[in-house]
Structure formats: C-alpha cells, structure tokens
C-alpha cells in the first residue's frame, strides 16, 4: 500500500499547530492517526489536491512540486504581517510497501523492461 509521509520541514512565523519535525501519515485513502502528530485544516487544504497523485507515484517534478523524489508544499496561512499565525513548509515522501514493490517489479518483467 502506498504511504505518504508529510513532514514539517520549516515554519515561517508562529504556527499554532505544528512544530518542525511533526508529520502526517497517509496510508491509502486514510490518515494514519497513530503515526500522525497533528492535523491543521489550513495545511490539509494545501496538501489535499496533491495527495492522491503523489500517493500513486506521480513524480513531484512532473507537477512542479520538487526536483527529486520529495515534494514540497506550503500551508495557506501567509503569516506576519498578514496574520498572527505562520506558514509551514512540508516535505512529502512516498514510501511503498513490500506488496507494491513486488507488484511493480513483476509488472516490469512481464513487459520485458
């Protein structure tokens, strides 16, 4: 099963929800609440349009969210001087389970890759 690990890489201003290093873990269509440190509606609104694509293996560079294997997404709250809050920058990494890797490698050999 696809697993997205969304980690707070940086905070500009004063984020009332997250601290650097906090994470949100998405497994399939669900938020893994046991592995998730916090969820913020502002941040989730920023992340939601990209979660399915990244979870399904779309490369961050293909959708303008990064240059390598990690995607970077910023929270909607602009922070000072516009609000009293702050914005978080998230680093999103796709982790694949053993079943996904096996299925992927089997698919490649069947096609002759």
Say what the pLDDT of residue 1 is: 76
- Give dist(CA 41, CA 68) in Å, integer: 27
Nearest 5 degrees, angle CA 3-CA 17-CA 79? Answer: 110
Q: Which residue has the tokens 């709250």?
A: 77
Say what the pLDDT of residue 102 is: 43
The model carries a pTM of: 0.82
* Nearest Cα residue to 48 out of 78, 70, 24: 24
Q: Can you list the residues of the chain whose pLDDT is less than 50?
A: 100-113
Say what the pLDDT of residue 48 is: 94
């Amino acid at each position: 099963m696809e697993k997205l690990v969304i980690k707070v890489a940086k905070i500009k201003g004063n984020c009332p929800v997250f601290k650097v290093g906090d994470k949100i873990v998405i497994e399939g269509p669900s938020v893994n609440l046991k592995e998730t440190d916090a969820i913020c509606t502002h941040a989730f609104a920023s992340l939601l349009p990209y979660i399915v694509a990244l979870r399904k293996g779309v490369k961050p560079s293909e959708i303008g969210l990064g240059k390598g294997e990690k995607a970077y997404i910023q929270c909607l709250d602009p922070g000072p001087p516009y609000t009293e809050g702050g914005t978080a920058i998230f680093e999103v990494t796709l982790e694949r389970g053993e079943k996904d890797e096996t299925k992927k490698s089997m698919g490649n050999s069947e096609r002759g890759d």
